[in-house]
Structure 1
Amino acid sequence: MPGSPDPLVDSDVAIGMKAAARAAERLQVSDHVLGLILGLPEAMVPQIKDGAAPVDLTRHAVVPALLFVRVYQLLNTIVGGNEAAAASWFNSYNTALNARPVDAVQSVPGLGQIVEYLEVRRA
C-alpha cells in the first residue's frame, strides 16, 4: 500500500543507527558529537543506543550513519582491531587532513573525505 511504512526499511534504519552508536562508543565519541554526525538532537542518542529511536525521525540520518560505520570499519582494519589505537587516531589532529577526524566527520562531505582517506591508507 503506497505511503505505508515498510518494516524492512524501518528495520534497516534501526540497524544502521545501532551500528553507528556502537562505532561511536568504540571510537570514544560523545553523545553530543554522535548527534552532530547524524544530524540529530543529542537527546535522541540514548534512544538510538537502545534501538528505540523513532524511525521516522532517524531516516534522514541513515547516510551519515552508514558512512560513519564505514569510517570505523576501515580504521579498525588499518589498526588491526586495536580499539585504543583507532580511538587515538580518530580523536587526534591529522596533518594530512588538516583536522581531527572527529571534527571532520560532523558533516556528510567530511565523512566522505575521511572514508576516501582511509580507503587510500588501507590499500
Structure 2
Amino acid sequence: MQPDLAANTAENAVLTKATLRAADLLDITARMLASIIGVSEATVSRMRRQEFLLERGTKPFELAVLFVRLFRSLDAIVGGDETVARAWLKNANTAFDGTPLEKIVTISGLVDVIAYLDSRRALV
C-alpha cells in the first residue's frame, strides 16, 4: 500500500469510527445519523460492520467532520455528561425554534448548531 493511500485509509477509518461513537454517545439512531451525514441507513449499518468507510473529499465525510465537531463542542460544554448532551439535543430550544436534533439534519442547521455551541463554549 502506498504511504498516501495508507494515510487516507487510516484517516477514513478514524473519522468513520468517531462518527459512530459520537452518534452512540448522543443516542442518535442509524436513521437519524444517515440523514445528518447524507448516506442511506444501510450505509450506516455497513459502517458499523466496518464494510464501509467515509472517504475524504466526499460530502458525507465533510458532514461527518462537522457532526464530530458538534459532538466535541457539546461534550466540552456539558463536561462529558452524555445524559445532559442527549437531553440538550432532544429538547426544544428557542434559539432554533425547535430541537437541535431536528436542525442538524440539514447542512445549514448543522452549521447553525455548531456556531451556537461554539459561541457558548467561548463563555465557559
Specify the TM-score bucket, using the shorter chain as the normaliser: 0.7 to 0.9
Q: What pairs up with 1:22-37 in 2 under 5 angstroms?
A: 22-37=21-36
How far does residue 7 in structure 1 lie from its aligned partner after superposition? 2.8
How far does residue 27 in structure 1 lie from its aligned partner after superposition? 0.7
Report the TM-score when normalising by structure 2: 0.86
More RCO (CA 8 Å, sep 6+) = 1
For residues 105 and 88 of structure 1, the distance between their equivalents in structure 2, rounded to whole angstroms, comes to 15
C-alpha spacing 1:8/1:117, structure 2 compared with 1 (3 Å): same
Gaps (5+ residues) in structure 2?
none
Report the TM-score when normalising by structure 1: 0.86
For residues 78 and 54 of structure 2, the distance between their equivalents in structure 1, rounded to whole angstroms, comes to 33
For residues 10 and 60 of structure 2, the distance between their equivalents in structure 1, rounded to whole angstroms, comes to 14
* Alignment match, 1:113: 112
What do the CA deviations read for 1:55-104 (whole angstroms, capped 9, x no partner)? 56x94311110111111111111111111000010111111111211111
User: How many residues are treated as equivalent by the alignment?
Assistant: 118
* Alignment match, 2:18: 19
* Alignment match, 2:76: 77
Amino acid across the alignment from 2:95: A
C-alpha spacing 1:103/1:117, structure 2 compared with 1 (3 Å): same
How far does residue 15 in structure 1 lie from its aligned partner after superposition? 1.4
Gaps (5+ residues) in structure 1?
none
After the TM superposition, list the runs of 4 or more consecutive aligned residues in structure 1 that deviate by more than 6 angstroms. none
For residues 78 and 55 of structure 1, the distance between their equivalents in structure 2, rounded to whole angstroms, comes to 27
C-alpha spacing 1:54/1:74, structure 2 compared with 1 (3 Å): closer
RMSD, matched Cα: 1.8
